[in-house]
């Protein structure tokens, strides 16, 4: 059956709009990326940054100080962690509506966890408007500390941020800005502790939120970034470490980056298979033409090392949309079947620290 010319023109228009959107985003990234001689941090080295807790009396997010690890045990009774990681596409319009919908979904996922299980949320591709939306959210204020209230610790105009269960003491918070990057990527590291069954002392837990380099670069940059990430995960005194995020795993070498660096992949450890619909985290909610061109892939991953047991791994966020007729029409103009809030599914892993 011949496709009508009007339909062909519509798809060409959608494709052109998406290409212009991507081009604009890449140009803005290059224009806003700060050179290393203009920032206080050094490449591939930890740079301490504050984290923030919401002060009800002041109605403001205030800087908090890291707490030293207590040798006698944390006393919290928390021995499990659920780590949620989600890339919220920064290139799409309606940032506030999309992030608000994402937070509503995350609130539903985290609101009924057992008292012995803490939650941590990794977000990638945030812009400063997203940080404002996060900071205004009442359940975030009540339940979490946040690592960022503005983009001052990002190398460019977008970046990562982490929400940490307020019941967990944060013992360190820092970023490692990758030397090998053209897109201002880094690893955002939060250190805390969990009780280990049968142990008289809490165990240091390092949580690394990272958005690895996009696209198929020549030479590739992700291998160097994962080497830096793995070094932080195995630092002296760290009992266990988790790294998660949009790892942009689109080339053959990406399949072995965890093993090449002495790490484990949570999805594979629980019996997941590569090239499986059950593992794909990107593409299902991409623009129709983009999905047809690139297919689906397992971009989002969780790596780990040290003394822990993985108790569960799954995806989340499928089908989450934002409302509004105008928004729906504009997303359709961009080539999306529905007004999805992001082209990524999230991943969540539940872990228990062991002695």
The 10s digit of each residue's pLDDT in 44-66 is 999 999 999 999 999 999 999 99
Note the residue count of the chain.
355
The 10s digit of each residue's pLDDT in 124-153 is 999 999 999 999 999 999 999 999 999 999
Is 95:25 a contact under the CB 8 Å cutoff?
A: no
The 10s digit of each residue's pLDDT in 160-170 is 999 999 999 99
Q: Confidence class of residue 72 from pLDDT cuts 50, 70 and 90?
A: very low
- Report the pLDDT averaged over residues 189-199: 86
End-to-end CA distance of the chain: 65
**What is the distance between the alpha carbons of residues 210 and 68, in angstroms, rounded to a whole number?**
25
Is 24:153 a contact under the CB 8 Å cutoff?
A: no
**What is the distance between the alpha carbons of residues 10 and 3, in angstroms, rounded to a whole number?**
11
User: Hey, what are 222's tokens?
Assistant: 């992700």
CATH no. for residue 41?
A: 3.60.10.10
Pairing mode, strands 172-177 and 203-210: unpaired
Paired residues of 339 in beta bridges: none
Is 244:209 a contact under the CB 8 Å cutoff?
A: yes
Q: What is the DSSP letter of 47?
A: E
- How many CB atoms neighbour CB 215 within 10 A? 13
User: Hey, what are 298's tokens?
Assistant: 């397992």
Looking at the chain, the whole-number percentage of residues with pLDDT higher than 90 is: 81
Is 275:190 a contact under the CB 8 Å cutoff?
A: no
Pairing mode, strands 117-126 and 159-165: antiparallel
Q: Confidence class of residue 352 from pLDDT cuts 50, 70 and 90?
A: very high
The 10s digit of each residue's pLDDT in 91-110 is 999 999 999 999 999 999 99
What are the strands of the beta sheet with 240-246, ordered from one edge?
46-48, 172-177, 186-194, 203-210, 240-246, 300-306, 264-265
Please give the tally of structural domains in the chain: 1
- How many CB atoms neighbour CB 194 within 10 A? 24
**What is the distance between the alpha carbons of residues 200 and 131, in angstroms, rounded to a whole number?**
38
**What is the distance between the alpha carbons of residues 270 and 276, in angstroms, rounded to a whole number?**
14
**What is the distance between the alpha carbons of residues 308 and 259, in angstroms, rounded to a whole number?**
17
pLDDT of 11 above 70: no
Range of the domain at 339: 5-353
Q: What is the DSSP letter of 249?
A: -
Give the burial class of 5: count Cβ atoms within 10 A of its Cβ; 0-12 exposed, 13-18 middle, 19 or more buried: exposed
DSSP secondary structure, 280-329, as one string: --BSTTS-HHHHHHH--B--EEEEEEESEEEEEEEEE-TT-B---HHHHH
What are the strands of the beta sheet with 308-316, ordered from one edge?
60-64, 51-55, 144-146, 159-165, 117-126, 80-87, 346-353, 308-316
Please give the backbone phi and psi of residue 269, each rounded to the nearest 5 degrees, phi first. -65, -30
Looking at the chain, the whole-number percentage of residues with pLDDT higher than 70 is: 89
| Residue 17: predicted pLDDT | 45
| Residue 195: predicted pLDDT | 84
Q: Confidence class of residue 4 from pLDDT cuts 50, 70 and 90?
A: low
Q: What is the pTM of this model?
A: 0.92
| Residue 18: predicted pLDDT | 43
């Amino acid at each position: 059956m011949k496709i009508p010319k009007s339909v062909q023109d519509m798809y060409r228009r959608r494709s052109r709009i998406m290409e212009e959107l991507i081009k604009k985003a890449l140009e803005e990234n290059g224009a806003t990326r700060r050179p290393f001689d203009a920032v206080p941090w050094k490449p591939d080295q930890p740079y301490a940054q504050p984290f923030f807790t919401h002060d009800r009396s002041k109605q403001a997010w205030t800087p908090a100080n890291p707490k030293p690890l207590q040798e006698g045990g944390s006393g919290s009774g928390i021995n499990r962690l659920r780590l949620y990681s989600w890339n919220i596409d920064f290139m799409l319009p309606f940032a506030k509506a999309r992030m608000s919908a994402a937070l509503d979904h995350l609130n539903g996922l985290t609101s009924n966890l057992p008292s012995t299980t803490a939650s941590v949320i990794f977000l990638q591709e945030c812009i400063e408007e997203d940080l404002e939306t996060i900071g205004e959210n009442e359940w975030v204020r009540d339940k979490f500390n946040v690592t960022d209230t503005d983009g001052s610790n990002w190398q460019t105009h977008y970046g990562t941020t982490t929400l940490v269960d307020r019941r967990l003491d944060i013992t360190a918070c820092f970023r490692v800005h990758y030397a090998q990057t053209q897109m201002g990527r880094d690893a955002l590291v939060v250190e805390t502790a969990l009780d280990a069954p049968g142990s008289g002392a809490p165990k240091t837990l390092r949580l690394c939120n990272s958005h690895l380099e996009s696209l198929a670069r020549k030479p590739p940059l992700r291998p160097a970034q994962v080497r830096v990430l793995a070094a932080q995960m195995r630092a002296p005194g760290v009992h266990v470490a988790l790294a998660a995020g949009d790892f942009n795993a689109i080339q053959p070498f990406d399949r072995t980056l965890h093993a090449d660096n002495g790490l484990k992949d949570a999805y594979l450890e629980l019996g997941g298979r590569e090239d499986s619909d059950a593992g794909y985290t990107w593409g299902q909610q991409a623009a129709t033409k983009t999905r047809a061109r690139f297919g689906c892939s397992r971009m989002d991953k969780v790596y780990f090392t040290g003394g822990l047991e993985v108790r569960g791994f799954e995806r989340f966020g499928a089908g989450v949309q934002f409302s509004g007729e105008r928004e729906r029409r504009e997303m359709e103009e961009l080539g999306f079947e529905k007004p999805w809030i992001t082209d990524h599914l999230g991943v969540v892993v539940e872990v228990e620290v062991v002695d």
